[in-house]
Amino acid sequence: MTTNVSPKPENSTWTDEQWEAIAVRGRSVLVAAAAGSGKTAVLVERIIRRISDPQEPMDVDRLLVATFTKAAAAEMRHRISDALEKALAEDPGSEHLRRQLALIPRASITTLHSFCMEVIQKHYQTIGLDPGFRIANETESALLRQELLEELLEDRYGAAVEGEPFWLLADTFSGDKNDEGLFRLIQRLYDDSRSHPWPEHWLEGCVDMFGAQLATDDHPWLDSLRAAVKLELQGMEGMLTEAERLARGPGGPTPYLANLDDDLTMTRSLLERSEEGPWELLYEAFHGAAFGKLKPCKGDQVDKELQEKVKDLRNAAKDKLTQIKEEWFARSLEEYAQELEKVHPLMRELARLVNEFAEAYRKAKSDKGLVDFADLEHYCLRILCDPATSSPEHPVPSAAAWEYREQFVEVMLDEYQDTNRVQETIVALISREQPGNRFMVGDVKQSIVRP
């Protein structure tokens, strides 16, 4: 239990984990909770207790509470208002609580995009942005993107030479009748790049990853592959652990336990190898991995329904192992290296196309006075980053960011699992560091509270 947590009231109905999330102070916190676990109620209770803290009461407009939809923000504002009215009914003489109700309409209980818009409207002049812009609707944006991509590819086809990177890229991803595959690829990579603080830098890193020498220990592509394999193996382990639990229980198919023990030993060995050691050893381990034949299971004491559940779980784990083998271990490291070498010039050409499309789209939106939601995030990021000292590896808060650090005593973020890298960077720039003042709630599969 965290030391900087006030004692839970004796009559409290909160669980110990919920109370810790409500009461912890003096550091940034991530609360991991699944849907339906009361995380919104925990967030509202924390807000009310921060506002009405007898030692350090604060005004509600010193908090930033960010959600991902306008409906969620409206519900959060309504819940906080209701909680304040209830607190005021219990303490009708409190001028502080009465003041908080008056401040609610202007409190920063909002979506991240709305917060970005507020930052832009206040500081647009620092990045030379025309304040007369409007947000493009989805249809308008989609039509503009389609038109620009058609023009870009038409120009490229006109200059294409057989065997050169663009020709090979188009030949690989376009069909016989249309370019829909290449269209989708460019747009998807463009959208992915815009979810990162520095899109061009991210694209450059993607290209470099295909061009780097494929080694067994430090190649970023292999790191990504290991992480994916590990995640799938953890899923296998979960299935087999549940199967073992059912087999050990009343009416369970106990003859299967020996098989399940072997299966778990194999899976955990693969998990261990996926975390460290040469890739070739992991490759060999997967090629030697197999599920044994289940032992016979007969007798009236065995619950047939439980037996089928155990078999289904084990079969699902077997299918997962087959999938991992086919998806990631059908080729040797040397074969992967040869493929990467072939793909590298195509990736470089694809990144070039994405950058050309990004520039054409930016110019077209500027000419029409339009922005999209990704633009809101990136304009906000530009305002909050110090242009003289920031880098992709180390964003430095600007004077505007420091204003928000002073204003917000706590930065609260709901649905944290949905944040992209741009949004994370924005939140980090307006949050304090020592001690941290971020409170994030999300459906991430980890402990209820972590620093």
Give residue-wise pLDDT tens across range 302-329.
889 999 999 999 999 999 999 999 999 9
Give residue-wise pLDDT tens across range 238-256.
999 999 999 999 999 999 9
Q: Could you tell me the pLDDT band of residue 275, with boundaries at 50, 70 and 90? A: confident
Same domain as 311, residue 254: yes
Same domain as 175, residue 83: no
Q: Does residue 340 form part of some domain?
A: no
DSSP states along 322-388: HHHHHHHSSS-HHHHHHHHHHHHHHHHHHHHHHHHHHHHHHHHHHHHTEE-HHHHHHHHHHHHB-TT
Cis peptide before 435 (omega within 30 of 0): yes
Give residue-wise pLDDT tens across range 120-168.
999 999 999 999 999 999 999 999 999 999 999 999 999 989 889 999 9
Give residue-wise pLDDT tens across range 159-218.
989 889 999 999 988 877 778 899 999 999 999 999 999 999 999 999 988 877 665 556
Same domain as 144, residue 121: no
How many of the other CB atoms lie within 10 Å of CB of 60? 24
pTM of the model: 0.79
Q: Does residue 338 form part of some domain?
A: no
Q: Does residue 215 form part of some domain?
A: no
Q: What is the pLDDT of residue 335?
A: 84
Q: Does residue 282 form part of some domain?
A: yes
Q: Does residue 232 form part of some domain?
A: yes
Q: Does residue 76 form part of some domain?
A: yes
Same domain as 148, residue 54: no
State the alpha helices, DSSP H only, in 15-131.
16-23, 39-51, 70-90, 95-103, 112-123
Q: Does residue 344 form part of some domain?
A: no
Q: Does residue 278 form part of some domain?
A: yes
Give strand pairing partners of 3: none
CATH number at residue 394: 3.40.50.300
| Percentage, residues of the chain above pLDDT 70 | 94
Answer with the one of 368, 397, 420 that is the final residue of a domain: 368
Same domain as 355, residue 289: no
- Report how far apart the first and last C-alpha atoms of the chain are (Å, whole number): 12
Answer positive or negative: Cα dihedral of 432, 436, 439, 441: positive
Same domain as 187, residue 123: no
Same domain as 354, residue 313: no
What type of residue sits at position 214?
L
Same domain as 400, residue 378: yes
Give residue-wise pLDDT tens across range 335-364.
888 888 888 999 999 999 999 999 999 999
Number of domains, the chain: 3
DSSP-derived secondary structure letter, 139: H
Same domain as 413, residue 425: yes
DSSP-derived secondary structure letter, 119: H
Same domain as 390, residue 433: yes
What type of residue sits at position 388?
A
Q: Which domain holds residue 146?
A: 134-195+350-368
CATH number at residue 188: 1.10.274.50
Same domain as 121, residue 64: yes
Mean pLDDT across the chain: 90
Same domain as 122, residue 145: no
Answer with the one of 267, 302, 330 that is the final residue of a domain: 330
